[in-house]
Amino acid sequence: MFKASLTCVAVLVAVFPGWGRPAGENVLFVNEIMTSSAFTNGAMDEDGDFQGWIELYNGGESEIDLTGYYLSNDPEQPRSWRFPSGHVSAHGFLVIWASAKNQIGASGALHTNFQLSGAEPVLLTAPDGNTLIDSLQAPSEIDRDESYGRHPDGREERIFYTNLTSSPGQSNPEPEFWAKVINRAAFPPRDYGGDVVFSGKMWLLGGWPGRKKDVWYSADGIDWTLATANPGWPGRHVFGCVVFNDRIWVIGGTSLESDVWHSSDGVHWTQATSQAPWGPNKPGRSVVHRGKMWFLAHGKTLWSSTDGADWTEVMSQAPWPERGSPTFQVFKDRMWVMGGGTWRTGDDAIYNDVWYSADGVNWSCATRSAPWPARRWAASQVYRDKMWLMGGHYGLDGEPKNYSDVWYTEDGVHWEPFDSKTIFTPRHSSQSWVYKDALWLAGGYYHSFALYNDVWKLNLPEY
């Protein structure tokens, strides 16, 4: 079983003007910071107070005497607090309390004359008062009891840690975790939009609420760019979205049209057909399999096309019980349909069965009762030769329930839970990608119009 224990994000280094940088390779780093704490994994100062803190790391082979160095949280005043003494051993760590107490504690702990309160930078300056040794700035969306640091120690990638996994005075370990990349991305909160990887970027299209039609892309999950707010096609959600023949395709969905569109750049769109045979307002999902696009309309009928204009009905009546919003995926040269359920019919049912087919005509049931709880509106991807199922919704008995669990399988029959101390909050109808050898999940819906626009990442080490 895979296990994970950290949450993280990578951002660019903040470089502040006005200072020189030391010649040669730097070995002294601002390695991890916590800006605000109510409870931090037992990290309290000698007075019993929970405080923000700053961790330095010496990546060199010799001890460094810090006497005369400076720390600051203000680029205009880089000499805010001067080290009265202190040293950090080779490949060692030193924690300084950002408490505003400006003292050396009874145990020798150092306290700055300033506190940290959010997205301000932490600057380490040489004794000459001008040479910037290193800096670290947390993103504005950092939460209380989250720390932010380098991953691994002394490296360029920056990551979030939760109150369970922050490590003041200790090494930041190699992660195997679900990673929170950003709390609030530039795209508006949404669920059930289109999600594809195209032209070296992750793309997010449309979604709910309001039958959105905006198109966004990102190369890192942090910075999102609006490609177009008016692609030409009507807004929609629960629709097919795939990459086929070097184009992005938008297929069907909860739109008043039964249309299909394509684009070679995400900005300029061409209509392939205005009247696809499945009819208007048909929620569905799409995959690419054996040189064709496939559209599973409302969990009932299956259609295929090689050009997006002419569609053939391959399956007129699914062998599984009636349902909407199943997960539709391609894995090991087969199409897979997982879970789903009826919604607001007066006799709702939700499933955890798994079906597969190589040709779309002949379907077999891999299992009628997978170990994951029954659900609809789950996200799915294929990552590291395994099929993954993430989140989802169970809403029977008048008590909506959303999941934050993650499952994976190598054969569709035997499933294992992905065990992680930190993971995204419960949700359904999230967008997901496999990109840069990582599994990504963004947005989704909880309940009572609680929509998300956060981004999470799972990057497993090689096994």
pLDDT of residue 399: 67
Tens digits of residue pLDDT in 232-260: 999 999 999 999 999 999 999 988 889 99
Domains identified in the chain and CATH numbers? 1-176 (2.60.40.1260), 194-458 (2.120.10.80)
pLDDT of residue 460: 84
Tens digits of residue pLDDT in 145-169: 788 888 889 988 777 777 667 788 8
Tens digits of residue pLDDT in 255-312: 888 999 999 999 999 999 999 999 998 899 999 999 999 999 989 999 999 999 999 9
Does residue 201 carry a pLDDT above 50? yes
Does residue 83 carry a pLDDT above 50? yes
Does residue 12 carry a pLDDT above 80? no
Tens digits of residue pLDDT in 19-53: 444 445 789 999 999 887 765 454 678 888 888 89
pLDDT of residue 18: 38
* Average pLDDT of the segment spanning 130-153: 85
pLDDT of residue 19: 41
Q: Spell out the SS3 assignment of the chain.
A: CCEECCCCCCCCCCCCCCCECCCCCCCEEEEEEECCCCCCCCCECCCCCECEEEEEEECCCCCEECCCCEEECCCCCCCCEECCCCEECCCCEEEEEEECCCCECCCCCEECCCECCCCCEEEEECCCCCEEEEEEECCCCCCCCCEEEECCCCCCCEEEECCCCCCCCCCCCCCCCEEEEECCCCCCCCECCEEEEECCEEEEEEEECCCEEEEEEECCCCCEEEEECCCCCCCCCCCEEEEECCEEEEECECCCCECEEEECCCCCCEEEECECCCCCCECEEEEEECCEEEEEECCCEEEEECCCCCCEEEECCCCCCCCECCEEEEECCEEEEEEEECCCCCCCCEEEEEEEECCCCCCEEEECCCCCCCCECCEEEEECCEEEEEEEEECCCCCCEEEEEEEEECCCCCEEECEECCCCCCEECCEEEEECCEEEEEEEECCCCCEEEEEEEECCCCC
Does residue 332 carry a pLDDT above 70? yes
The residue that leads in pLDDT, 176 or 331, is 331
pLDDT of residue 125: 97
